[in-house]
Amino acid sequence: MATSQRRSDVALIERLFEEPFRFDFFQAVRLLERIGKARAPVGFDGPYARETVRFAQHVSMNFPASAIDTLERDAQNDDAPPRMVTSFIGLLGASGALPTVYTEELVGPRGKNRGPAVDFFNLFHHRIVSLFYRAWEKYHLPTQWEKSLDRDRRPGGDDEDRFTASLFHLLGLGLGSLRERQGFDDESLLFYTGVFAQQHRSAVMLERLIADCFGHPAEVLSFTGQWLRLRPEEQSRMGRTGGFNRLGRDAVAGRKVWDVQSKFRLRLGPLTFTAFREFLPDGAASNHLMSLVRFYTRSELDFDVQLILKKEDVPMCELSRGPTAARLGRTSWLKRREFEYDAGDAIFKPGR
């Protein structure tokens, strides 16, 4: 496809083969592995002929200008891996590990007949460079993630890259049996591993987490309180066989007790009417929101969700059919004129 300057763009892989010296070594090998997914990655168990690329050494006493000297396909065998001639590390050359006399013998007047000797040294050079690339890849996290996407990954399986597995362990989802049990994609939590790895869960961090995940303002109201029902055997009873009847200690008048420390309220909004409907109990985002809050609080606290609707988006109460019809207690207000304040009447508990 032509660019804005009316020049035709050359495919990236073709540019790599035409001008390999312009590419970083690691990026070049990464691109070759991306297009040769059916081949074995370099630096592992091979076999040698099935690996993505074959490394050879640039035999010269000159100091190299780039890490890659040439990159060529095998003209006689299309199934053979491309041959990349590198000019860094290795056994031969100006900076090689062996004494320079070996390189001088191979590039001198008698060097034309030393092809088998160069091939012998390249056997070691290929393995050295392959392990060098593998060492870089091991600690280059984006590349690990990229390669794991090419495999049919099982949650918690051996084909999962180490970095992702470590993050899941910090989240408390290291075992595959714990995955895919939430109301959201487990991998969506990886970005927030630092938040979930903390021992103490704060209301401020929950506000930031919800606001970042859903893109709407969030506020946590602590100590909203709730009535807790007492089981019959826990209610105060008079007489010798009674119980929980000591005044000032455990006596309670009634079947319920007011508790302010076991519940909080998550206020979300102001929202548009479209976003408001998504967070209703039967909306597309409701299950995700409820599951995320439960996971963050470790289900230790009860909570409800208050949806704030923008005052200009409060609809008129009209009888109709379809998904936009007014619903009592959810999307219906007795409206005769424009609201002066945002509507915050919609309060829902998880599962309702």
Tell me the per-residue pLDDT of 147-176, one tens digit each, with 9 for 90 and over: 777 665 555 555 677 888 888 888 888 887
User: Which 8-state DSSP code applies to residue 199?
Assistant: S
> Which residue, 184, 182, 178, 149, is CA-closest to 163?
149
Distance CA 47, CA 41 (A): 10
Reported pTM: 0.66
Output the DSSP codes for 65-78.
SSSEEEEE--SS-T
Strands 218-221 and 263-271, sheet pairing: antiparallel
pLDDT of residue 1: 46
pLDDT at residue 320 greater than cutoff 70 = no
Per-residue pLDDT band for 146 (boundaries 50, 70, 90) equals: confident
pLDDT digits (tens, 9 = 90+) for 29-69: 999 988 888 888 898 887 888 899 999 998 888 888 899 99
> How many Cβ atoms from other residues are within 10 Å of residue 289's Cβ?
22
Exposed e or buried b per residue across 304-317, where buried means at least 16 C-beta atoms within 10 angstroms of its C-beta: bbbbbbbeebbeee
Q: What is the pLDDT of residues 65-112, one digit of tens each?
A: 899 999 999 888 888 899 999 998 889 887 788 888 888 888 876 656
Tokens found for residue 25? 């070594």
Give the sign of the dihedral formed by CA 127, CA 165, CA 207, CA 333: positive
CA atoms within 13 A on the CB side of 309: 23
pLDDT of 242 over the 80 cut: no
- Distance, in Å, from the CA atom of 188 to the CA atom of 295, rounded to the nearest integer, reads 13
What integer pLDDT is reported at residue 128 of this predicted model? 94
Pairing, β 263-271 against β 302-309: parallel
